[in-house]
Structure 1
C-alpha cells in the first residue's frame, strides 16, 4: 500500500458541499472533514453531503471522528454508502480500534494526542495504515497546555518531538508521513519554511486549511532546477563508479544516491 496523492492536501468541512469541487480542483487531494470542522448538530447533514458527493474517490480522504466517540459509528455507516476508501482517523490512539475498518479501506492515522504520539510505533505497524499524520493543537491540549507555538511562531519542543516521532515511526514501517496544517493563513513565509523542511525531512505531503496555501506547499515540495540537475548527474556518474566516489567536491555513497532518487521521484 502506498500514499502518493501529491504534496498539498486541502481540508474542507463536510457540511459545506458547495466547496467540495472547488477544493478538489485547487489541491492534489481534498480531506472532507466530519470531525472538528463540523459542529455536532451539523454532522448528520455533513454525512448526507458525503453520500451525495460526486467526486473522484481516488483523490478524496474522509476524516472521521475519533474511534471512541458515538459519531465514529455513524461515520462508518456513512462510508459504507460511498465509494470513498481512504480514511483519516482523528485522534488515533489505540491500534486495536482500527479493526473496525475492513480490508476495503486504507487508513491515515492522525496522531494528535499524547497517547497517539506515544503509541505511534504500534499504530504505524497496523496493516491498514498507509500514512501517518500529526497534529499540534490537540496534542498540546491533551497535555493541558495552551499553545503549540512560541510568540515568535516556532513550534515548541513538545510539538517538534511529536512531529519527529510520527515521521520516524511512519518511515520505520514503510508508511508515508503527512505534516500538520499551518493555521496562520497569512503567514506565507512561515508556511513555506515549514513545507520546505517537511519535504527535505521526508514527509510525503503537507495538509492545509486554505486554498491559498496549496501553491506554497507545491512549490516547497518541488525541487529546483539546480537540484534536479545535480540528482540526474550524480546518478549518471554512479553508473560508471564502484562504491564511494567523489562528485562535484562531495563524497557520494548509497545514502546520497537515495537522496538523488528521492529528488527525481518528487519531479515525477
Structure 2
C-alpha cells in the first residue's frame, strides 16, 4: 500500500482551500477558478438523502486532481466506504477524512489522507493519527470539536473577553495539530472562519496561522480566498530581509550578526520559510 500512496505525494499548491458541496456540480468550475484547491465535500455540506447524487456528480464532473481534495464521511462508516468506491472511479487521489479518530481508521482509506481533527477522540489521538503511513497532512475543525464536548461555542461572544477569538480548548487543539504535523513532517491546514463578512478577523487569524507555520487555510466562501492569499504572501520587506540574511549566511559559519540581530539556525529556517511562501 505505502508504495502506491507515496509514489507522488501531494501537497497544497497554494494556501486557499475552498469547500464546495459535492452535490452542486454547477459550482465546481467556479470554485476551481477562484481557489488554489477545491475541497469537494461529501459530508457536512450534503444532506444524507443527497449523498448518492453527490457521488454521481463527483464521477461525472471531474476537476484537476492536483488541485482537488474530496472530503469523505468518517472512515468507520458505510457512507465512507461508498464515498471511496465513487472516488475509485475518478482520478482523485487525496481525501480529507472527516472526524478522524484513530490512525487505524484513517489508514483503512488506502489513499493519501488529510486527517481532519474535529472530535475529542481525534484531538487526544492526534500524534498517533499523524504517524499513520498514508497521512500527508492534518487539518482541524472547531465547531464539531466543541459539539463533541457538549459545548455551545468555539469562540468568545461579544460580551466576553477577547470577543471573536477562540476559547482555550480550541486553541489547544489548533496548537496540537500544528505540533503533530511538524513532528511528523506533514503540512497543516487551519480551520475555516465561519463569519464570512468578517474579513478583518479572517486576516488576523491567517496571519497568526502563518506565524505558527500553517501552510494553508480552508474557507467556505470565494470572497475569503484573496484575504487568505494576501495574508500568506510575505511583504516585499520580509522577502528582502530573508534574501539578504540568506546571502549573508553564505559568508559566515555558525552564528553571526545581521543588522543587530543574532542569526542562527532557527532564524535561517524562518528566512527559508519566507522565501518558500514568496514562491522564489
**Is the TM value for this pair above 0.5?**
yes
- Whole-Å separation in 2 of the counterparts to 1:261 and 1:64: 34
What is the aligned partner in structure 1 of residue 255 from structure 2? Answer: 244
Gaps of 5+ in 1: none
TM-score, scaled relative to structure 2: 0.93
Deviation, structure 1 residue 208: 0.2
1:54 to 50, 55, 62: 62
**Structure 1 residue 39 corresponds to structure 2 residue 50:** no
- Whole-Å separation in 2 of the counterparts to 1:125 and 1:73: 22
- Give the paired residue count: 266
What is the aligned partner in structure 2 of residue 67 from structure 1? Answer: 75
Once the two structures are superposed, what CA deviation does each residue of 1:169-210 show, in whole Å capped at 9, x if it has no partner?
Answer: 010000010000000000010000001111111001000000
What is the aligned partner in structure 2 of residue 20 from structure 1? Answer: 28
What is the aligned partner in structure 2 of residue 148 from structure 1? Answer: 154
1:258 to 266, 269, 276: 269
Deviation, structure 1 residue 8: 0.2
**Structure 1 residue 121 corresponds to structure 2 residue 127:** yes
Where 1:108 maps in the other structure, the secondary structure is: strand
Deviation, structure 1 residue 2: 5.0
- Whole-Å separation in 2 of the counterparts to 1:130 and 1:10: 19
**Greater CA drift, 52-61 or 86-95:** 52-61
Gaps of 5+ in 2: 1-8, 158-162
**Structure 1 residue 219 corresponds to structure 2 residue 225:** no
Which 4+ stretches in 1 moved above 6 angstroms?
A: none
**Structure 1 residue 107 corresponds to structure 2 residue 124:** no
- Contact map agreement 1:2 1:176 (CA 8 A) in 2: no
- Whole-Å separation in 2 of the counterparts to 1:145 and 1:113: 12
- Whole-Å separation in 2 of the counterparts to 1:54 and 1:89: 20
**Structure 1 residue 139 corresponds to structure 2 residue 145:** yes
Deviation, structure 1 residue 106: 1.1
- Contact map agreement 1:245 1:251 (CA 8 A) in 2: yes
- Whole-Å separation in 2 of the counterparts to 1:29 and 1:4: 7
Deviation, structure 1 residue 5: 2.2
- Whole-Å separation in 2 of the counterparts to 1:138 and 1:93: 13
